[in-house]
Amino acid sequence: MALEASVIASLAEYLENAELNAQAVPQISLKYPGIDMDDAYAIQHEIRRRKESRGHKIIGMKAGLTSRAKMKQVGVDSPSYGFLADYFAVDDGAAVEIKKLVHPRVEPEIAFVLKRELIGAGCHIASVLAAIDFVVPAMEIIDSRYENFKFDMPSVVADNSSSSRFVLGGRSKLVEDLDLRTLGIVLEKNGVPFSFGAGAAVLGHPAAAVAMVVNLLAKRGEGLPAGTLILTGGITEAVSVAAGDHVQLRTQNLGSVNVRFV
């Protein structure tokens, strides 16, 4: 850790306020060039603690930057994780108010709900597959709190990996009834196809993204409890949205998910 505890706390407050006020701010590494990944996760976990202390529940986790398309879009080269708070959840088909966000983008994801806890280093794809209760399609609405959606790795991790909202929909299925590598998706904006992909875009298999998160959490002595919802990361690049837009995710075997922006 390069930063003192008091600096971690003040950066958490700064980034959480940027989120709550929907106000873009300069990325934190400009002022703290020595910030490392341990500092970044410490800031993210402090934002999480602040929300919990105000009565919010953490209902899940997300893996981020798990596909080449995503890494290329934002110019970073390694995966990350973030947390999902209760108020991030948006109903399928519901409207999201643009003015509450900075510059949202939508990305297509495969999500899992766990029936067993996953904890400790050495987690691998087989332990993840054994722990999945069901698979459900998701759209994540990301919203970097940084000006122009520009950041480096420690800055985005401190900003909860741009987590903002998410929508679950379609239908759930058992993992053994799907081929998660070849599961195809189409992301449409206003009825026009924007991007296309398949599950293998996510670290070769979406379950590998969960193992990545478990192995990162193990460094802090934490894990994913049974019942955790986990988003495995954008399969394709994310699409920018404005008021009036409608985004639909069509999947091969899991139905569709919809969201509108007003």
Per CB under 6 A, does 142 bind ligand OOG? yes
Nearest to 157 by CA among 12, 7, 2, 37: 37
Judged by CB under 6 A, the stretch of 3-11, 21-29, 154-162, 182-190 that binds ligand OOG is 154-162
From the list Mg ion, ligand OOG, none, pick the one residue 16 interacts with, judged by a Cβ distance below 5 to 8 Å according to partner type: none
| Alpha carbon separation from 240 to 106, 140, 189, 260 (Å, rounded) | 7, 12, 9, 12
Residues 6 or more apart whose CB falls under 8 angstroms from that of 108 comprise 137, 138, 139, 185, 187, 195, 197, 234, 235, 236, 249
- Is residue 64 close enough to count as binding ligand OOG by CB under 6 A? yes
**Least distance between ligand OOG and beta carbon 5 (Å):** 26
Residue 234 within binding range of Mg ion, rule CB under 5 A: yes
What is the x/- site pattern for Mg ion, positions 90-129, by CB under 5 A? Answer: ----------------------------------------
Contacting residue, 234, 239, 241, 257, with ligand OOG by CB under 6 A: 234
Binding flag, residue 74, ligand OOG (CB under 6 A):
yes
37 to each of 3, 79, 107, 180, 223, how far by Cα in Å? 11, 12, 24, 30, 18
Q: Tell the smallest beta-carbon distance from residue 72 to ligand OOG (Å).
A: 11
Query: How far is CA 210 from its chain centroid?
Result: 12
Complex with ligand OOG: residue 75 or 226, whichever CB lies closer: 75
